[in-house]
């Protein structure tokens, strides 16, 4: 009897599992509908709004339709004048899996729907863990409308491109994109082409400020202007930014923000000459996070009212009171076959009160140093540089250092101290830095 009961329990367990698997698509279908409708209902934007038109839920799949509508009056008028729609219908084909819901979204074709929009396809997969994967693809498109052609634009081409993203439940995300080719050509054969634009962002937003790492670059940019005979070519461009919050335990008001930004360039060829191996590395370090949160929205305002200006000054005062650093860690390149290398490191120590109304105190507090190393060969081959360097050498502002010339200065107590020990007011730093160009 016990054996029979055990067997019955086994069959009951198997039957329960089969029933669960058989019924689960109904559950994931309902979950998918809730995600779809709740996501649209919670979407808030001052530029566009999204509306759910219909949702037809089935056993293994569902279909839905939504509408994207431009609500910003200025953008809406611009789109209408350019002949683009302000309303776009999107159709969604949704599949219910055992542990995820996936969908493919396409844009409904109408007379005023552009070829580019018609060629867009968005594929999403939402896992029950809360992670969502997205892939947006486009087709080869020439945007040169009859209006643009009448204005001299022969071709405005964007090759088939894609954007992919993974968004976790906790807000962490990864976004990457690829644009293989962009081309603009005028009827006089002037042109601009960009090859292989690619980028990636990994991180999350904290109070509307991006925390994480982002990069973007391209293989080659060509700019040819027939009328001015301007021919420029840039190769191997890459920009990387790393943002982080430095948290202070139990003292969130002392949390700081650091942003490190690096731009590299393999080669740039212009009528003035060739630049290679360019590096521009700049960092903003230990900015008070609370002050930054208040400052960023104010800087984005198109029109500053008296109240906004007052708030901006107060935010700057808080930044200055807490102290921060602005460092050009490296500004270097191989110019006309010779190396140029410079840096500027500036620190504002904590403690400056009401900095926006006390510029003298601010200048007296600033500390740092600046340096330029430039090859003798480049100076000798550039008459203007040669004249400037001779003057600097005579006044002992610069010295010979092997195959290079070196200029250096320290900043403290509102003054600049040069290599020869001579001091001058800090405002003269601008004149000194003109030699770094």
How does pLDDT run across 90-134, given as a tens digit for each residue?
Answer: 888 888 776 777 888 887 766 666 777 778 888 888 777 778 888
pLDDT at 437: 47
How does pLDDT run across 293-348, given as a tens digit for each residue?
Answer: 888 877 777 677 888 888 888 888 888 889 999 999 999 999 878 889 999 899 99
- Give the start-end residues of each E strand in 289-379: 324-335, 338-348, 367-375
User: Do the beta carbons of residue 233 and residue 266 sit within 8 Å?
Assistant: no
Give the N- to C-terminal CA distance of the chain in Å, as an integer. Answer: 95
pLDDT at 356: 80
DSSP letter string over 10-23? HHHHHHHHHHHHHH
Its pTM stands at 0.80
Domain boundaries, the chain: 1-139
Lookup: tokens for 381: 């081959």
Residue 208 CA to its chain's centroid (Å): 13
pLDDT truncated to tens, each residue of the chain (437 aa)? 555 555 545 544 444 344 434 444 545 566 666 666 666 676 566 677 878 888 787 767 788 888 878 888 887 887 777 667 788 788 888 887 767 778 888 877 666 667 777 788 888 887 777 788 888 899 998 888 787 888 888 999 999 999 998 888 788 899 999 999 999 999 888 999 999 999 999 999 888 788 999 999 999 999 998 888 888 999 999 999 999 999 988 888 889 999 999 999 999 998 878 899 999 999 999 999 998 888 887 777 767 788 888 888 888 888 888 999 999 999 999 987 888 999 989 999 988 888 888 777 888 888 999 898 989 888 888 888 888 888 888 877 888 988 899 988 898 888 888 878 888 777 655 544 444 44
Residues in the chain: 437
pLDDT at 40: 64
pLDDT at 167: 82
User: Do the beta carbons of residue 188 and residue 152 sit within 8 Å?
Assistant: yes
∠ CA 310-311-315 to the nearest 5 degrees? 120
Q: Which helix (DSSP H) or strand (DSSP E) does residue 204 occupy? A: strand 191-206
pLDDT at 332: 94
């Amino acid at each position: 009897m016990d054996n029979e009961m055990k067997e019955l329990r086994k069959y009951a367990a198997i039957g329960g599992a089969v029933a669960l698997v058989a019924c689960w698509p109904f559950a994931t279908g309902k979950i998918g509908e809730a995600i779809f409708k709740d996501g649209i209902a919670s979407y808030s934007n001052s530029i566009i709004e999204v509306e759910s038109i219909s949702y037809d839920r089935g056993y293994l799949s569902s279909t839905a339709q939504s509408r994207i509508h431009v609500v910003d009056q200025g953008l809406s008028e611009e789109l209408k004048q350019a002949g683009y729609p302000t309303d776009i219908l999107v159709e969604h084909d949704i599949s219910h899996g055992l542990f995820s819901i996936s969908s493919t979204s396409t844009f409904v074709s109408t007379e005023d729907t552009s070829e580019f929009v018609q060629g867009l396809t968005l594929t999403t997969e939402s896992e029950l863990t809360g992670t969502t994967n997205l892939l947006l693809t486009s087709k080869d498109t020439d945007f040169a409308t009859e209006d643009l052609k009448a204005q001299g634009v022969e071709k405005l081409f964007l090759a088939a491109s894609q954007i992919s993203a993974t968004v976790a439940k906790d807000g962490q995300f990864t976004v990457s994109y690829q644009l293989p080719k962009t081309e603009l050509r005028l009827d006089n054969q002037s042109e601009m082409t960009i090859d292989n634009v690619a980028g990636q962002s990994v991180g999350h937003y904290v109070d509307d400020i991006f925390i994480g790492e982002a990069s973007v670059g391209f293989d080659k940019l060509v700019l040819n202007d027939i009328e001015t005979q301007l021919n420029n070519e840039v190769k191997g461009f890459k920009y990387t930014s790393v943002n982080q919050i430095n948290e202070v335990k139990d003292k969130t008001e002392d949390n700081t923000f650091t942003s490190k930004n690096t731009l590299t360039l393999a080669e740039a060829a212009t009528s003035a000459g060739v630049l290679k191996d360019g590096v521009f590395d700049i960092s903003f370090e230990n900015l008070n996070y609370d002050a930054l949160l208040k400052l960023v929205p104010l800087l984005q305002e198109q029109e500053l009212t008296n109240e906004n200006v007052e708030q901006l000054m107060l935010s700057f005062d808080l930044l200055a009171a807490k102290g921060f650093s602005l460092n050009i860690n490296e500004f270097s390149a191989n110019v006309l076959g010779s190396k140029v290398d410079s840096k500027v490191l500036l620190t504002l120590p904590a403690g400056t009160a009401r900095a926006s109304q006390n510029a003298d105190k601010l200048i007296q507090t600033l500390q740092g140093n600046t340096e330029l190393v430039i090859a003798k060969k480049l100076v000798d081959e550039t008459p203007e540089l040669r004249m400037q360097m001779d003057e600097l050498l005579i006044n002992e502002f610069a010295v010979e250092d092997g195959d290079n010339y070196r200029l250096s200065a320290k900043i403290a107590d509102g003054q600049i101290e040069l290599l020869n020990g001579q001091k001058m007011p800090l405002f003269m730093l601008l004149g000194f830095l003109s030699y770094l160009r």
